[in-house]
Amino acid sequence: MPATFSRKSSNLASSHYHGEFTSIARHLATLCAVLAAVVFLCGCPKKQWSYTPPPAPAPSKDFDAHFDPAHPDPNGAPRNVDWRPQIQGRIPNPDSCNDGQPYSTACTQDKPFQDQPDGLREAFCFIGKAVSGSPIQPFYGHADWMVAQFDGSIGWFNFGDDFDYDLLLVPGSLPQGAGNEHGITTNNNHVADNSSQPQYIEVEWDSAETDAAFPDPGNPGTPPSWWAQFKQAGHADNTQQLAGLLHPSDEHTLACGSVVGLFGLDCDHGCRSELHPLYGLAIQRTEDPADNEWSVLVRNWGTGGYCSQYNDELAETSLSIVLPYSSSQPPTKVEVQDFVTTTVSGPGVQCPKIYFQDGQTIVNLTLPPPENQGVAAFSLKLQWPAGAQPMACTQVKTAGAALAEPAAPAAHPAAPLKGEDYLGALLRGTKKGQRLDLEKDILPAVPREQTMATRRMTVSPPPQSCNGAIQVIPGRPPVVHAVAVHRLRKDPVKRSRDEALRTYICQQYRAKGVAPPVGTQQDLDQACKGVK
């Protein structure tokens, strides 16, 4: 998760503050910047993402990933990944492992890929790391382990100041006891910052990468699709409207669903576990066997937020998501609604297929190569035979506005703000604390040469409409192996936008004259070097 511009609540940030940065940390940060520059000049890392988990010895260290290799998800990826100590009922603490370096060989036999920002942008992420309450280390980006599928309770978190959609996922608990949700760490936040509520994994993706697949209806009399409503409410960060959208059958309880994403640790925020970027999402909106509704989003690419560099292309062209409705018989009717697919080039995502075998229902889609940046969004309506039961997940009560974010900081706060809140206040300063629009407010205010790279997503309709009733196919989706190597690449559009955000914040920092957080003056000046 990106530290910069985010006003995400954190019981870590509110309870700890390191104050002045040490000179050692500064030297390490400088060295890290030099190394990052060397990597950039040397080209892309020899790393790619696929469903097959990376080989590793039997788990023995706190941050060794643990999963059941005999029961992968339909893609062949791990499902509901845990950290090794969770099998014994103990949640690992990222801060206490090798002085806050859970991604190091002292803490894991796995080889997580370390992705953090380069150049002047990393100073902003360093500020976020310093106020997270965790030990200050030279790495303040994302440590990514593997592609995985989780199921559990899903709700809205917020629309970040970095323009990310942020959901929360409460995975099921291990048999060793409640409060031991799959894949969490001690630093993962509790729902509504309430320790009596379960901990969650954040699910994130850049709104600009999928918004073209959520179009508003062209005709005034045509009702907007579910995803168009999600986009409108998401950009407004309308928590109550989103609660009703995600789970209209009971807006005070989180919906059940499944998520496919890149599983790892967000080491800009205490190295807590997250799924970022999102590859696949299925949210069960209504549980009624006669009217079982799902919202589905799929793709095989995506960037990792401001405090990262790479486009995490998934070297796969087939993606399957489990719809865990309990039934011995397949659904009696399946209907696709409001199917939209977009790409930057070539054909988009093909029409969805539904498979059923041994009580498991799977929605499967064929995607274009990841470099085509295909996205598909749609709704599913299913009907089930007698005796079928809706997907069960942890019943998390939201109490209406319990998940609402604090009010945005004022443009000119009376008291000094800490890292992220201060940066967010600068970002919203020109609209008196209101959320900005990237295209209308920020990009026009920065030099044109910094915003030249654009992602031109276009609707790419399939040969025939995907909407309407579809047949249920007996069996499981065929296994489709990756056809080409897709090593991680730096994304020019992301880099251009990140630079525009840096420029805009620095302009506000110099124009507003608001005192920065204690100990951050030098880092802000370094981050804003070259901005007039």
- Selected residue with higher pLDDT from 506 and 26: 506
Q: How far apart are CA 391 and CA 388, in angstroms?
A: 10
**pLDDT, tens only, 176-230:** 767 899 999 999 999 988 888 999 999 999 999 999 999 987 777 788 999 999 9
Residue 149, token pair as written in the block: 């599928």
- Selected residue with higher pLDDT from 340 and 479: 340
SS3 153: strand
For residue 125, the model assigns a pLDDT of 78
Rounded mean pLDDT, 227-241 = 95
Residue 318, token pair as written in the block: 């087939």
123, containing H or E segment: helix 122-130
Rounded mean pLDDT, 24-36 = 41
Among the listed ranges 160-164, 238-242, 512-516, which one has the minimum average pLDDT value? Answer: 512-516
Q: Are 381 and 160 in contact (CB under 8 A)?
A: no
Residue 527 lies in a domain: no
Q: How far apart are CA 347 and CA 350, in angstroms?
A: 8
Residue 191 lies in a domain: yes
DSSP code string of 261-314 = EEEEEETTTTTEEEEEEEEEEEEEEE--TTSEEEEEEEES--B--TT--EE--B
For residue 453, the model assigns a pLDDT of 64
Report the domain count for the chain. Answer: 1
The residue type found at 147 is V
For residue 402, the model assigns a pLDDT of 41
Residue 312 lies in a domain: yes
Residue 255 lies in a domain: yes
Q: How far apart are CA 20 and CA 17, in angstroms?
A: 9
The whole domain housing 472 covers 11-406+444-508
**Between β-strands 375-383 and 292-299, what pairing exists: parallel, antiparallel or unpaired?**
antiparallel
For residue 426, the model assigns a pLDDT of 76
Residue 314 lies in a domain: yes
Phi and psi of 24, rounded to 5°? Answer: -65, -45
Q: How far apart are CA 404 and CA 389, in angstroms?
A: 31
For residue 452, the model assigns a pLDDT of 59
SS3 23: helix
For residue 49, the model assigns a pLDDT of 96
Residue 470 lies in a domain: yes
Share the mean pLDDT of the chain.
84
Residue 524 lies in a domain: no
Which residue, among 149, 386, 104, has the nearest Cα to 267 in the 3D structure? 104
SS3 92: coil
Residue 514 lies in a domain: no
Rounded mean pLDDT, 15-36 = 40
**pLDDT, tens only, 349-373:** 999 999 999 999 999 999 999 999 9
Rounded mean pLDDT, 74-96 = 96
Among the listed ranges 11-20, 37-46, 195-204, 274-283, which one has the minimum average pLDDT value? Answer: 11-20
**Is residue 22 scored above 50 in pLDDT?**
no
For the purposes of burial, counting CB atoms within 10 Å of the CB of 414, is it exposed (0-12), middle (13-18) or buried (19 or more)?
exposed
